[in-house]
Amino acid sequence: MSSRYIGSKWKKTAALLHAKEIASYVPNTKRLTRSSLEKMLHEYGMVYVKPDVGTFGQGVMRVERRTGASGELYRYQIGTKAREFTRFDDLFRSLLQRTRGRSYLVQKGIQLLKYNGRRFDVRVMVQHDPHKNWETTALIGRVAAPRKVVTNYHSGGTPMPVDTLLAPHLGRVNRQLLIQEMRTMGKQVARRLQASFPGIREIGIDVGVDHTFRPWIFEVNTKPDPYIFRHLPDKRIVRKVIRYAKAYGRL
């Protein structure tokens, strides 16, 4: 039997927030309303607005609030296009035109580490092994295309080894510790989601790392792309990912 697919980001986030050891990794996330957006922009200065159901980073918007000599300035970016407003109501009206009545979420923005001036995050792949135990099988970094707000490969992101991306920021031992933390976190997330959604056999976790080297869970995909790991130099990794996926009927 193939792995179960859960589309709603909100349902998956709510499940993670019920587990104390995982909740601290999840940035503050709310359903998008006028009130939630205004409050979170005042609190954090930058948030991400994204569709509750969607893939490949499509529809994700980076929204910012700044205060300057001339007063407040609001800005949002989708893809490489940005718009600016001097009033919150005008910003929100424009966002509503983008969302077209669909359910969206607003999430605290995390200032991500960069590689050569471009933001990156990490895809953590966790799968059932042939004995139905959870195993973190692969990690890969995704570097955002220039001037884009998302890192997804399908939106022009560049897949790279995580160790390479962390090397300018951390020494070897600390890189290994951070990678191990993400591996352990991956299995915790998988077990928690399986308790809420029996039948899942694979997850891909999108993890961002901030300037204090703290990992953050942005979202969890229950139908992750197994083939992105072909971009890693060590081909044994993608072979294992695919072997496990075939064992539980995904491929």
pLDDT on residue 101: 87
All residues at 6 or more sequence positions from 87 whose CB lies less than 8 Å from its CB, including other chains? 72, 74
For residue 221, the 8-state DSSP code is: E
Tell me what the pLDDT averaged over the chain comes to.
Answer: 93
Q: Give CA separation, 84 vs 59, 95, 102, 147, 171, in Å.
A: 18, 12, 23, 16, 40
Q: Would the CATH topology of 20-26+112-247 be identical to that of 29-108?
A: no
Looking at the predicted structure, is the pLDDT value of residue 153 above 60? no
pLDDT at 80 over 70: yes
| DSSP characters over 44-86 | HSEEEEEESS-STTTT-EEEEEEEETTEEEEEEEETTEEEEES
Q: Locate tokens 């995904």: which residue?
A: 250
* Average pLDDT over every residue of 129-139: 96
Predicted local confidence at residue 148, as pLDDT: 60
State which H helix or E strand residue 207 sits in: strand 202-209
Domain extent listing, the chain: 20-26+112-247, 29-108
Q: What is the pLDDT of residue 71?
A: 87
Q: What is the pLDDT of residues 199-250, one digit of tens each?
A: 999 999 999 999 999 999 999 999 999 999 999 999 999 999 999 999 999 9
pLDDT tens per residue, range 24-47: 999 999 999 999 999 999 999 999
Question: What is the CATH T-level fold of the domain 29-108, as seen in this structure?
Answer: Dna Ligase; domain 1 (3.30.1490)
CATH architecture of 20-26+112-247: 2-Layer Sandwich (3.30)
- CA angle centred on 178, ends 222 and 22, rounded to 5°: 45
